[in-house]
Structures are given as C-alpha cells and as structure tokens.
Chains A and B, each alone.
Chain A
Amino acid sequence: GAVVSQHPSWVICKSGTSVKIECRSLDFQATTMFWYRQFPKQSLMLMATSNEGSKATYEQGVEKDKFLINHASLTLSTLTVTSAHPEDSSFYICSARDSRTRYMNEQFFGPGTRLTVL
C-alpha cells in the first residue's frame, strides 16, 4: 500500500514558538493532502484540505493564520503551528490521496505527530 510519513513523530516546544510538521507521500503523488487533529479518546477532526499548488481550504473554526499549510509539491505538505500555546497540544495526523487514480477515494494516513506545548 501507499506510504505516508510524518516528521517529526513528536515535538515539545515552549509557548509562543512555532513548530513545523512535514507530511510526505513516499511512493505516490498526492494531489490532495489533509490535516487532522485528534485529542485523546476522540475522533479525527479535519483541520484543512490542501491541493498541490493551491491555497488550503480550512474547516470552520480553524484559524488559518495560526495553522499555516503549504502543499508546494505532489509529495510534500507542511503544517506550521504559529505562536503555539498549551491548548494546541494534540496529535496531528496528515493523510494523502491521488485523486487522479481509480482509488481516488482512498486516503493514506501518516503515523501522526504528537505536539506538546509547555
């Protein structure tokens, strides 16, 4: 199956700093990437959808100036949490799909990044 990686797998930062999380599709081209946030024992909450070369589409209630998403190539998307605060501590998961193939519905998820803001 298709592989999606995330880096880093975990990060601890001080309040007020910015953190960048990378999401890469390793063996396929991702026309669309998604960023999710998951709190303990809860479901995945979609934050934004990004298509390669286009601006990300953010879900209602997600601050686009705080969560900067860049999808500069067909294999890389980045999420930058700017001026992080303790309430931003969460598990961030990306997923990717190639909408051009017959498996256009399938989303392949990364392993997640655990962010802890002190």
Chain B
Amino acid sequence: QQQVKQSPQSLIVQKGGISIINCAYENTAFDYFPWYQQFPGKGPALLIAIRPDVSEKKEGRFTISFNKSAKQFSLHIMDSQPGDSATYFCAAEISGGYNKLIFGAGTRLAVHP
C-alpha cells in the first residue's frame, strides 16, 4: 500500500512532442505528490508538486494532472526539448510526523532532435 507505481519505464519523444509519464498509488493518506528530474551523476531536483485539493497544476511547459478518485497522477511535458532528456521520478508523501517520500521506479526520457 506504500508503493507508487510509475510507467513507462522508458520513453522516447521527438522534439516538440508531448511527454507523458503516469503514476498510481494506493494509500489515500498521501497528500503531497512531487515530481523530480534527475540528470546522470546528479541529485534529483524538484520539478513540480501538487496536493489532492487541485486537479491540475502548470508551471511553464510542465503540468501535473491529478485524479483523486482514480488515485493517479501524471506529468506532461509540452514542447519536449533534448535538454529535457533525463530520468523523472514521481513520489508521494503523507504530511506531518516523520514523513518520508515514497518514490516511483523512474522513467528515462529521451527527446530526439
């Protein structure tokens, strides 16, 4: 019940296309859902995050869509660029106390010119 399932494992998109990565969870107590971007040999960087009280959040070319009833959330990267090529991790957390992030398995995105 603590798992976050992420798909696809890898994704190839042409420059200018839309990259879509999906995550699903079981624990309804999760109330914070961040996405992280990680380049090879670097630590993850927070990209965008959402809470269950909204269904969508947009920051620049990055959008999180959140479906509370389906217990799913997804990351959309519009106008994908070669510089977006990285590994993306979704995560979920229960706020308060000794809360900790539960990470998905990651998606390796390659954006071809």
Contacts of B12 in A (CB 8 A): none
Decide if A101 is an interface residue (CB 8 Å cutoff). no
Contacts of B105 in A (CB 8 A): 42-43
Known contacts A42-B106, A109-B45; can you find 13 more A-B pairs with CB under 8 A? A4-B43, A41-B108, A43-B103, A43-B106, A44-B103, A49-B100, A95-B43, A105-B34, A105-B49, A105-B99, A107-B101, A109-B36, A109-B44
Contacts of B36 in A (CB 8 A): 109
Is B43 a contact partner of A109 (Cβ separation < 8 A)?
yes
B102 to A, closest residue via Cβ: A46
Q: How far is the CA of A44 from the CA of B36 in the complex (A)?
A: 11
Decide if A62 is an interface residue (CB 8 Å cutoff). no
Q: How far is the CA of A49 from the CA of B93 in the complex (A)?
A: 14
Q: Which of A12-20, A68-76, A81-89, A110-118 contacts B (4 or more CB under 8 A)?
A: A110-118
Is B43 a contact partner of A106 (Cβ separation < 8 A)?
no
Distance from B100 Cβ to chain A, minimum over Cβ atoms (Å)? 6
Decide if A93 is an interface residue (CB 8 Å cutoff). yes
Taking residues whose C-beta sits less than 8 angstroms from the other chain, chain B's interface range is 20 to 34
Q: How far is the CA of A46 from the CA of B106 in the complex (A)?
A: 15
Is A34 a contact partner of B100 (Cβ separation < 8 A)?
yes
Q: Bits for B64-103, please: 1 = Cβ < 8 Å to A, else 0.
A: 0000000000000000000000000100010100111101
Is B101 a contact partner of A46 (Cβ separation < 8 A)?
yes
Contacts of A51 in B (CB 8 A): 98
A32 to B, closest residue via Cβ: B98
Is A43 a contact partner of B99 (Cβ separation < 8 A)?
no
B93 to A, closest residue via Cβ: A105
CB contacts under 8 Å to B, within A18-48, are 32, 34, 41-44, 46
Decide if A104 is an interface residue (CB 8 Å cutoff). yes
